[in-house]
Amino acid sequence: MTKKKVLFVCTHNSARSQMAEGYLNFSYGDRYEAFSAGTEVTSVNPYAIRAMNEIGVDISSHRSKRIDEFFGVRMDCIVTVCDCARETCPMFLWAKKRIHGDFSDPTSASGSDGEIMDIFRNVRDEIIEFIDVEFGDERDF
């Protein structure tokens, strides 16, 4: 069986799209091959790494990538995970499906280490729920 390719896109490719890529590969890697990119490049946020480690998903080797790296690469599905990415993401004409989920940006969190981690956990859990709904059953795209 050929795995369907999914590209998660957000603004900085530092947290939301990285967590989504990691979770989809971890939980549904038998059916999907996930990637992530951003409209801008930064680095993977350490809080995102910690939040995913808590559920057994290691994204510590991930790197932030610009969406340009995927131009021309056939994807079965493009998933924008923030409104900004949806508005600025170029149209991938070679993607069979486009999905949008708007998740708050945990990298803008402030407070104590524990408070920031709670925000990352909440966003992580929202992303997991979204992925389980969208990709939990075999999709025809």
pLDDT tens, residue by residue, 103-132: 999 999 999 999 999 999 999 999 999 999
At 48 the pLDDT is 98
pLDDT tens, residue by residue, 59-117: 999 999 998 898 888 899 989 887 565 565 556 556 778 888 989 999 999 999 999 99
The full DSSP string for 44-107 is --HHHHHHHHTTT---TT----BGGGGTT---SEEEE-SHHHHHHSPP-TT-SEEEE-----GG
What residues are labeled active site?
A: 10, 82, 89
Task: Set out the domains of the chain in order of their start, with CATH numbers.
Answer: 4-135 (3.40.50.2300)
pTM > 0.85: yes or no: yes
CA distance linking residue 4 with residue 122, whole number of Å: 27
Is the pLDDT assigned to residue 17 strictly greater than 80? Answer: yes
